Amino acid sequence: MKINSHPKRSALKNKAIADFAEHVSSGKAAFFQKYGMDFVMGSRKGPYLWDIDGAKRLFNLHCNGGVFNLGHRNIELIELLKADLDDYDIGNHHLMSKARADLACKLAELMPGDLGYSVFGVGGGEAVDLAFKVARAYTKRAKIISARGGYHGHTGLALAAGDAKYRSPFGPTAPGFVQVPFGDAQAIEDAADADTAAVILETIPATLGVVVPAEGYLPSVRRICDQKGILLILDEVQTGLGRTGKLWAFEHYKIVPDIVVVGKGLSGGLYPITATVMRQPLESVFHDDPFIHISTFGGAEIGCLVARRVLEISAASDFLNHVNRLANGFAEQLEVLKKSHSQFFISVRQLGLMIGLVLKDLQCGPILTKTAYDHDLLMIYANNDPRVCQLLPPLIMDPAQIDWVIRQLDDALASARRLKKVQGVKTSIEQFIKKIV
């Protein structure tokens, strides 16, 4: 696919775009060029990303779903990683590891109850796959119940727990998976039977539109699982590590899951690592053959050392207090914006800095994604509910930066309202909805 060069771009940027189109993804390159969002990542620091030619700077209000909770290129973590490289590398997954043990001990210390065993992976889908394998092996049952519109990854079993649009192009799906509406405990009770191994839920499903569950929902699901001998898996890949103002989002609901999946932010934005954390009895599935599940790069030692420091930072009371101060600041100012743009901006869904902006209709999220970009904000709409734009700022941002972000968002909302009125914009935006990632 031919990608046009642009005279205002540097030669470096033109070549990067052409090479990306030729060898990585022609579809993405064409899409971003069509919508005037041909940003190529260059320098980055804290809450900011710069284009490769330095012509544009974005304030990151998406953070790759929480990967950059601690900002881009966190200096403390970089210095730690540099120092660790004097003695460590990835390690060998067959052998015992102090770095891996230290990280698992820290996770056990910070988890409630007997959530004391961790198996490490590289991506969230891999970690979810393992959670399902453990649940099936432990219960000797097959069925997995998940929430419609949720998202747990693009690998085999994780993909089967997600929506059809992510899996149907790739052929038959693994059997044994059932979806019910999120927030409906009765639907889970009705779907659960003697063959149900586990229920998996995101504590707050971002891709569904940052839906904050009602106070009694998760406790009801916990009760149903207890009554029927079903394991409760909570996916905290995006909501964990302080995003909601508590270290783990499920703490708000005073429940203890059987398995917790942690990822994204655990990496510190520097080395990919995930953890499937399980209650002590569940580790018994590995007793007969402790090598029955392996991950070559999961729990890489240099990643474990960074992740342990991420946990220490994220669990500190001063850090969580800072997150809650930021959350209160955003809540106050978003309420003012909502009143100013009441015909376009309908409501706010928020728990800590897990924020969803609910807009008028399905076209509005993609439009705001584009106009926010034009006003130097990186925001992404919720793929399974395009009415909602996700707002996931870095947890380390300065409270003084809220005023600037809100001013830019105010201008972006005004531009979005005008764009929506443009004759013929509907078809273009519908294409945008289908294609943006």
pLDDT tens digits for range 221-270: 999 999 999 999 999 999 999 999 999 999 999 999 999 999 999 999 99
Strand-pair partners of 50: 57
Pairing of β 143-147 and β 177-180: parallel
pLDDT of residue 1: 47
Query: Rounded to an integer, what distance in angstroms lies between the CA atom of residue 210 and that of residue 154?
Result: 19
**127, exposed or middle or buried, with CB in 10 Å at 0-12, 13-18, 19+?**
buried
Q: Which amino acid is at 332?
A: E
pLDDT per residue as tens digits for the range 311-354: 999 999 999 999 999 999 999 999 999 999 999 999 999 999 99
Q: What parts of the chain have a pLDDT lower than 70?
A: 1-8, 423-437
SS3 state of residue 38: coil
Query: Rounded to an integer, what distance in angstroms lies between the CA atom of residue 298 and that of residue 226?
Result: 31
For all residues of the chain together, what is the average pLDDT? 94
pLDDT of residue 421: 81
Q: Residues 129, 132, 134, 136: is their CA dihedral positive or negative? A: negative
